[in-house]
Amino acid sequence: MERTLLAPIVCTGVAAILVATLLFRAVLSYRRSFIAGIGASLKQSFVLTNPRSLFAISAVMTVAAGSLAYVSTGPTGLVAATIASLVGPWLLARRIVTQRRKRFVHQLPDALLALSSALRAGCTLARGLELMAVRQPAPLSQEFSIVLAEQSVGRPLAESLDDLRRRVGAPELDLMNTAMNVSRRVGGNLADTLESLARTLQEKAHMEGKIDALTSMGRAQGWVVGLLPVFIGFVLYQQQPARMSLLFTQWYGWVVLSIIAVMMTIAAWMIRKIVRIDV
C-alpha cells in the first residue's frame, strides 16, 4: 500500500524537477540571446545602456503583465501577455535600428553634396570625409567617425566603407562605395559623380515619400482589419464568457482559432506586399 502511494509522489516530483530544469535552461538561453542580440543592436545604434539591466526590466514587466492578464482574462490572457512581453523588446530594438537607418539615408544626399563641394574646393577625399564626420548631424557623423578612426590605424578605406554598408544596411551606400572605389582605381571626376549620385538619391527619396503618402490609407486599413477581430472577440468574451471560453477549452475551438490566425497572417502578408513598393 505504501509503495502504491509512494510511486505517484516520486513520479510527480521527478516530473516537477524536469520541468523546472527545462524552464531554467530556457530562461538562461533567452537571457543569453537577449543580451547578445538586443545589446549588439543597441550598441550599433549608439544607444549606451546595459543589456543586463534591460533584461531584468523586461523580466519584471513580463511577470507583471502576465499576472494582470491572468487575473483579468484567465490563461489565454496570460499566454498572450507573456508572448507580447517577450517579443516587445526585440520589436523595439528593431524599430530603433530601422529609424536610425532612415535618418542616415535622409542625411546622405546632403552629405554627398557637401563632400562634392569640398572636393571641388581642393580637399582630399580623406579631408572631405573628416568634414562630413564633424559637420553632419548624427547618425551620419557617428558612422563616418568610425570610418575615419579605422582609416587612421591603417585600414583600407574600401574595407571601412564595406563595413559601413553592413552596419547601416542601406542599399544607397552601395552606390557611394562603388563611386569612390571606381574613382580611386581608374580616376575620374569624383566630385561630379558624387553630386550626380546625391541628386539621384534626392529624387529617390522624393518618390518614396510620394509612395508612402499614397499607400498610407492601405496601411491604416490593414491595421484596422487586423485588430478588429481581436477587439470584437474581446467584447464578445466580456458579454458571453461561457460561450466564448469554448474557443480556448475545446479542441474545435483551437481549430477555429488556428484557422483564424492563418487567414489573418495571409491577409497581413498580402496587404504588406501590396502597399510596400521598392523604388
Predicted confidence (pLDDT) at residue 256 exceeds the cutoff of 80: yes
The closest of 50, 40, 169 to 93, measured between CA atoms, is 40
- Looking at the fold, whether 203 and 153 belong to one and the same domain comes out as no
- Looking at the fold, whether 116 and 179 belong to one and the same domain comes out as yes
Domain with residue 189: its CATH number is 1.20.81
- Looking at the fold, whether 146 and 225 belong to one and the same domain comes out as no
The pLDDT-based confidence of 252 (bands split at 50, 70, 90) is: confident
φ/ψ region of 74 (left if φ > 0, alpha if ψ in -120 to 50, else beta) reads left
Q: Looking at residue 160, what is its pLDDT?
A: 86
- Looking at the fold, whether 203 and 193 belong to one and the same domain comes out as no
The residue among 168, 198, 228 that closes a domain is 198
- Residues of the chain with pLDDT > 70, as a percent, come to 92
Q: What residue numbers bound the domain in which 135 lies? A: 105-198
- Looking at the fold, whether 177 and 212 belong to one and the same domain comes out as no
By CB atoms closer than 10 A (0-12, 13-18, 19+), residue 51 is buried
Q: Looking at residue 4, what is its pLDDT?
A: 56
Q: Looking at residue 80, what is its pLDDT?
A: 77
- Looking at the fold, whether 113 and 189 belong to one and the same domain comes out as yes
Model's pTM, two decimal places? Answer: 0.77
Contacts for 82 with CB less than 8 Å, ≥ 6 apart:
62, 65, 66, 69
The residue among 173, 198, 223 that closes a domain is 198
Predicted confidence (pLDDT) at residue 133 exceeds the cutoff of 80: yes
Q: Looking at residue 3, what is its pLDDT?
A: 52
- Looking at the fold, whether 111 and 184 belong to one and the same domain comes out as yes
- Tally the domains of the chain: 2
Q: Looking at residue 1, what is its pLDDT?
A: 46
- Looking at the fold, whether 168 and 204 belong to one and the same domain comes out as no
- Looking at the fold, whether 188 and 114 belong to one and the same domain comes out as yes
The residue among 149, 174, 198 that closes a domain is 198
Q: What is the pLDDT of residues 139-193, one digit of tens each?
A: 888 888 888 888 888 888 888 888 888 888 888 888 888 888 777 777 678 888 8
- Looking at the fold, whether 122 and 155 belong to one and the same domain comes out as yes
Q: What is the pLDDT of residues 5-23, one digit of tens each?
A: 556 666 677 677 877 788 7
